[in-house]
Amino acid sequence: MFVYKVRSGDTLFAISAKFSCPMDQIRMVNGLTTINIVPGQALLIPLYTYTVQPGDTWSGIVRSTYVSKKQLQKANPSINPSLLYVGTKIKIPSISNYLAATMSYYGIRNEEADRTLIADFAPYSSAIAMFEYHFAPNGDIVNQLNDRVAIETSWKNRVVPLVTVTNLNDSGFSGDLAHEVLNNPVARTNLVNNIFTLVNSRGYGGVNIDFEQVRGEDRDLFTGFLEQVRKKLNASKYVMTIAVPAKTSEDIPWLQGYDYGGIGDVVNYMFIMAYDWHYGGSEPGAVAPIEEVRKTIEFAIDRVERKKLIIGMPLYGYDWALPYEQEAPASAVSNQNALLRAMNNQARIRYSKEAQAPYFRYTDKDGKRHEVWFEDVRSISEKAKLVREYNLQSIGVWQLTLGFTAGPWILRKFFTVRKV
């Protein structure tokens, strides 16, 4: 497979003819409901043969296929990289031999949707964390989910279902709630026991702990709580996973509650939420800029076993009204809908080489200017390359219900998904 960047004047029909790939297949792989593509748009072409085009260079083909020069040359020993002829067929080598245990999040919806969506995503999933259960200050679980079908469908399709336990309350993620439970030994033990009961009684294969905004003063207590959970789960061989915010330093005040080293010693897998460097309440910018993701990985591998690390990616971006005003937060938009928005507004998509992220601007029906940053096949492929470069476990996403049609194709290009 390779990525083609749409040029001015291109049509889907012309691109289809150029690479001898059926137009319906290009539409299907990229989730295109219309054919009004725009300049700068990245299309995933599901072929393992590349046809040389006018102006192509060997380096350019390497970039579009996401393989190394050495790999491409080995697959095409008779071709001189310095002498390319238009129409030459270049074999794209398979690099999917990297075995990876993926983990992503899924928001429980209804039985029919759960059955369909989980079955659809199952071939590309090792574990799915079902979102989400809440707890009270005394450690009691305070809500119920109609998760039976989601759990059964996961096991049926050789996917490990994980129960996600969060410190969400009516106001959002609550550092105060986490603080209250962590500092009360009775409540803390009660929560540990309730998590075990939840996993055991509902038929889950393990747990995902998603406590956000943990205070620095609760750092050791939080790690100790995770140790309690792990000991409780171990006897029944349940999986212990966690979601943690991205860290590049121990000097970031609001992230000091997360001891990567201590947490990494306890859990089976650590899902790093490598996104929201720009968010609804910030100025416009890349949600997951590549250098920040790289710095996060380098910080993590100094403290955590590499094969425990799963790099979380967002299946969403943000749409900011311009000029930016702090009082007017951006609205979230799925990556797929961001592409559709660009196409509907015939907005040229640009790509930041520094952030390795796409963005575009458009004018809405009221004459208001907007700037949208999101993830596409290029930016996600760059992050998949980082996982391989640093020999990590895998990638994961928040969250599957947002959808990104090309995502499974990218996953299959870079990885072989481990199944239970």
- In the 8-state DSSP scheme, what is residue 349? P
CA distances from 58 to 52, 67, 72, 86, 115 (A): 9, 12, 9, 12, 45
Q: What CA–CA distance (Å, rounded) separates 259 from 252?
A: 12
E strand intervals along 255-330: 269-273, 309-314, 316-321
- In the 8-state DSSP scheme, what is residue 382? H
Backbone angles phi, psi at 137, to 5 degrees: -60, -20
Query: Which residue type is seen at 65?
Result: T
Instruction: Count CB-CB contacts under 10 A for residue 354.
Output: 9
CA triplet 393, 50, 408: central angle to 5 degrees? 35
The H helix count followed by the E strand count for the chain is 14, 21
Pick left, alpha or beta for residue 4 (phi over 0 → left; psi -120 to 50 → alpha; otherwise beta): beta
Please tell me which residue in 180, 212, 375, 382 is annotated as part of the active site: 212
* 212 is known as an active-site residue: yes
Q: What is the dihedral of CA 74, 77, 83, 89, to 10 degrees?
A: -90
Which active-site residues does the annotation give?
A: 212
